[in-house]
Structure 1
Amino acid sequence: MILDIVLIIAGMFLLIKGADYLIEGSVGFSKRIGVSELFTGLTLVAFGTSAPELFVSISAALNGSAGIALGNVIGSNITNIALILGLSLMIKKSTIPKSTLYYEIPFVILISLTLLFMLLDGNSALSIYDGFILLTYLIIFIAYMYNMAKNDKSIQEQLLEEIQEVKIKTMSWNKIIFLVLLGIVMLAIGGEISVRGASHFAKTLGLTETLIGVTIIAIGTSLPELVTSIIAAKKGTNDILIGNLVGSNAFNILVVLGITASIHPVIPDRSVIFDAYYMVGVIFLTELFLLRKREAGFWKGLILFLSYLSYIIINLRLG
């Protein structure tokens, strides 16, 4: 059991560092070939931040641990909104951008409902056909984000700031190739050993892999967002954070599950219908919170945080 915990922790470390290296190398590559920073921010950086969930989910699906694959995405999305956003609002009150409230959150509600209906129709499983549908949604989402960012200076500034934080100057091709390959290898190894550790850990304790996926693995792959939320709350930039969390939820469903299901059908070891309903409920609750005044503070954050604790308690009972 101790070895399983060590594998999970080591896997999470490799996933997080691997994503950093992949982003660094990818941004360096985009600068070498002259791709716009706006496009880079919307695609490479966004994809890189979802890389831990992606590699965990693909590894889990291919190893017959689909409960971890599906639980990781749904659990990460609930963690992003209920735990991370809840904590950040408790630390600092925030005003929400109009685009997030009127376009991005409704879009995430739409794709979350789509995922729920897919799971209801497939008896908690996702088929290859479902994966292709999610990837089609992804193309629409990227097109929308590109057009919006192109016409919104504040979003452009945010994306450029994210790229500049990577601290990239002109790189040699050798360094770019090294960083990209290193990042991919670390992500692959991290995904493999974390899934193996989590799967064996679940079996040792008599738990379902899905439970481990929606709790331990989901929190582990959301650690970068959790750290970012605390920093953003202290700096008073929660409005940017909320947009990032919502975008992360969209990419988790569309990129992670879209690619994973397209490669291999995702059939979990227990029903995730309740989890999917909860995911939709949490994002819908967030929209209701923000719809009236476009702002939220301690009490609304506390309700979200308590909803996360309730989710974990209910899942422990479900097994």
Structure 2
Amino acid sequence: MIINLLLFLIMLFLLIKSAEYSITYSSRLARSLRMSEFLISFFIVAVISVFPETTISIVSSLKGVPELGLGTLIGSNITDLTLVLGIVVLLSKRDGLTIQSKILRKDFVYLILLLLPVLLGFDAHFSRIDGLILIISCIIFFISLYIEGSRFKKTDHQNKYIKNSFLLLISLAFLLTAAYYTVEFGVKFAEDINFPPLLIGLVVFSIGVCLPEMLFSIKAVKRNHNTLALGDLLGTVIIDATLIIGILALINPFDFDPLLIYIAGSFMFISGLLVIIFIKTGRQITKREAIYLIGFYILYLIVELSARNFLL
């Protein structure tokens, strides 16, 4: 038990340090490419941050249990939009998380992309056509976001993007590796102290796959890089909800428990709606609103547990 605890703490330390370096090189890369920090975090950091849940989802699909992957993707999105964002805002400086990026005006599009997998999966089945629709929607959105974001380029003319890109990728690789082993040893320690298996899966595992973006975002707001934090979280959520679910459906069209969409899918969309409403009111997410988000996550856990226990 002591060994697992020590290894968990060591991995947690490495996770925090790698998050710090990721912030540094993300910011430098944004300056050297003369792009906004939001775009860098949305396109690069978020794409790499989704590796844990993407790996779980693809492996589960290849093994014939795609429902596990779908549950991981939707569950991690709810966690990112409520618990993770709430914690990030509470730990931010001043009164909350101020939103400055003009690119965030695409709020309606974010909601459509979150609603799309819910609508397509309402029949408890994802076909290859559904998968193509999700993938194409993601690609079109990324292209439009890049085109619009290019209007807001930075003016720094440093030409060090190759070095900064390499160092960012290295730091993100350490971030993912440390996150993986933090979850690994965290679960083992939880088992050592007889933590309930259901809660290990529902809480430890769902939070575990969100560790890269959570630590990255916390470090970002601590260093006044709010757009880096929000870009990573929103990018991760959009990629999971469209591109990754689409890839799952293309690999192996599948049926799943309709409760997954009815409960988790609805909570995912409502979570996104709450975030957009909070952003639109005063162009910031306040600490009081952060508490509401965390409370909504707790409500999701209660509803999920109650529904599962009722059906057992």
Q: TM-score, normalised by structure 2?
A: 0.70
Report the RMSD for the aligned CA atoms in angstroms.
4.1
Question: What is the aligned partner in structure 2 of residue 31 from structure 1?
Answer: none
- Cα–Cα, structure 1 residues 98 and 236, in superposed 2: closer, same or farther, change >3 Å? closer
Deviation at 1:167, TM superposition (A): 1.5
Deviation at 1:71, TM superposition (A): 1.0
CA contact (8 A) 1:67 1:268 kept: yes
The sequence identity of aligned pairs, in percent, is: 24
- Cα–Cα, structure 1 residues 229 and 41, in superposed 2: closer, same or farther, change >3 Å? closer
Deviation at 1:63, TM superposition (A): 1.8
Query: Residue 289 in 1 paired to residue 270 in 2?
Result: no
Deviation at 1:64, TM superposition (A): 2.7
Question: What is the aligned partner in structure 2 of residue 301 from structure 1?
Answer: 290
Aligned residue among 219, 230, 235 for 1:247: 235
Which ranges in structure 2 are unaligned for 5 or more consecutive residues? 23-32
Length, aligned pairs only:
263
- Measure, in 1, the Cα distance between the counterparts of 2:42 and 2:253: 28
CA contact (8 A) 2:98 2:283 kept: yes
- Cα–Cα, structure 1 residues 154 and 261, in superposed 2: closer, same or farther, change >3 Å? farther
- Measure, in 1, the Cα distance between the counterparts of 2:149 and 2:116: 25
Question: What is the aligned partner in structure 1 of residue 27 from structure 2?
Answer: none
User: Which residue identity lines up with residue 164 of structure 2 in the other structure?
Assistant: Q
- Cα–Cα, structure 1 residues 206 and 82, in superposed 2: closer, same or farther, change >3 Å? closer
Q: Secondary structure at the match of 1:64?
A: coil
Deviation at 1:48, TM superposition (A): 2.3
Question: What is the aligned partner in structure 2 of residue 85 from structure 1?
Answer: 85
- Measure, in 2, the Cα distance between the counterparts of 1:50 and 1:155: 30
- Cα–Cα, structure 1 residues 42 and 229, in superposed 2: closer, same or farther, change >3 Å? closer
Q: TM-score, normalised by structure 1?
A: 0.68
Aligned residue among 88, 99, 102 for 2:102: 99
Which ranges in structure 1 are unaligned for 5 or more consecutive residues? 25-35, 169-175
Q: Secondary structure at the match of 1:224?
A: helix
- Measure, in 2, the Cα distance between the counterparts of 1:310 and 1:134: 28
Q: Secondary structure at the match of 2:72?
A: helix
Q: Secondary structure at the match of 1:296?
A: strand
Query: Residue 227 in 1 paired to residue 215 in 2?
Result: yes
Deviation at 1:233, TM superposition (A): 2.8
Question: What is the aligned partner in structure 2 of residue 108 from structure 1?
Answer: 110
- Measure, in 2, the Cα distance between the counterparts of 1:64 and 1:219: 24
Deviation at 1:65, TM superposition (A): 2.3
- Cα–Cα, structure 1 residues 294 and 76, in superposed 2: closer, same or farther, change >3 Å? same
Query: Residue 261 in 1 paired to residue 264 in 2?
Result: no
- Cα–Cα, structure 1 residues 217 and 64, in superposed 2: closer, same or farther, change >3 Å? farther
What is the 5 A alignment of 1:117-196?
117-120=119-122, 122-123=123-124, 125-154=125-154, 164=164, 166-167=166-167
Question: What is the aligned partner in structure 1 of residue 26 from structure 2?
Answer: none
Q: Secondary structure at the match of 1:151?
A: helix
Deviation at 1:155, TM superposition (A): 11
Deviation at 1:315, TM superposition (A): 1.4
